Amino acid sequence: MTPVDPPFTTPVHAGQTDAVHPLVDVSALARQLYRDPGPVLLDVRWNLAGPPGIEAYRRGHLPGAVFVDLDRDVAAEPGAGGRHPLPSADAFQEAMRRAGVSAAQPVVVYDEADASAAARLWWTLRYYGHPDVRVLDGGFRAWTGAGRPVETDEPDPPRGDFTARPGGLPVLDAAGAAALARDGVLLDARAAERYRGEKEPVDPVAGHIPGAVSAPTSDNVDESGCFLPSLALRERFAGLGATDAQHVGAYCGSGITAAHEVLALTIAGVPAALYVGSWSEWITDPSRPVATG
């Protein structure tokens, strides 16, 4: 991935590439667990409506996996920056070191199935400079569906040495998102009815950023929660105007499922920026326009 021009507010570092494929399947991960060192496994199961992911983790998780709390560890406190702002480098670094993450050791992240939460942890690790992060395709459900073992013991991993350096992936602020919706392609990752303003179960204002294109993340995965093949994703996004010849970005309600969109775009070979604050930040300023329909 090469450096990008405005409206991206944080360019990709010159010379950085996406040589590491962002997904790993169950069979490949099972083989990697026998390597020394194997990957650090991070369980980030989460649901906006609850219950807390730690409950599912304690009922069973991949062998050696450490639980990461999305609200506490992968986001800052809600506020003017939205419901899930980017955590500070210091806070994220501490959370990852506590989970055993080091720069020289690969990381695999997973959630229940469709990567809607795992993608945000994948993105945040990549944004803060970790070079080797993958998402378990199909998540915990795919692992158990293949008859792989789970455990309930909570490991106490050795402290990692990961250093968080911001800027590893491009981001958008509100002005950048507005400019991209006008001059490039800004994808709205929420359900179509939320985009149209017909239903808004979370935020106090319904609608979308003017010029944004509806692209629900549910269309990125199959019924099992696994991502569609890269060619199918590339064709899907091309149909929405999002290709590697365009400046592309994504947003959602609070920057969680938009990271899923960025992950799907990465699989498709289309570089994209994330508007971390997303709709929940956009609507904090009443002067920003809102579109419906």
Q: Which of 118, 136, 226, 252 is catalytic?
A: 252
State the Cα–Cα distance between residues 111 and 11, nearest whole angstrom.
Answer: 28
Could you tell me the two tokens for 181?
A: 């919706």
- Residue 182 phi, psi dihedral angles, 5° rounding: -85, -45
CA atoms within 13 A on the CB side of 268: 27
In sequence order, which ranges of the chain are alpha helices (DSSP H)?
Answer: 26-32, 53-59, 70-73, 89-98, 118-127, 139-145, 174-183, 192-196, 230-239, 257-267, 278-282
State the Cα–Cα distance between residues 94 and 99, nearest whole angstrom.
Answer: 9
Any catalytic annotation for residue 252? yes
The burial of 245, by beta-carbon neighbours within 10 Å (0-12 exposed, 13-18 middle, 19 or more buried), is given as exposed
State the Cα–Cα distance between residues 207 and 196, nearest whole angstrom.
Answer: 6
Listing DSSP states for 144-166 in one string gives: HHTT---B-----PPP------S
State the Cα–Cα distance between residues 60 and 199, nearest whole angstrom.
Answer: 35
Consecutive H or E run containing 62:
none
State the CB neighbour count (10 A cutoff) for residue 91: 16
Catalytic residues: 252
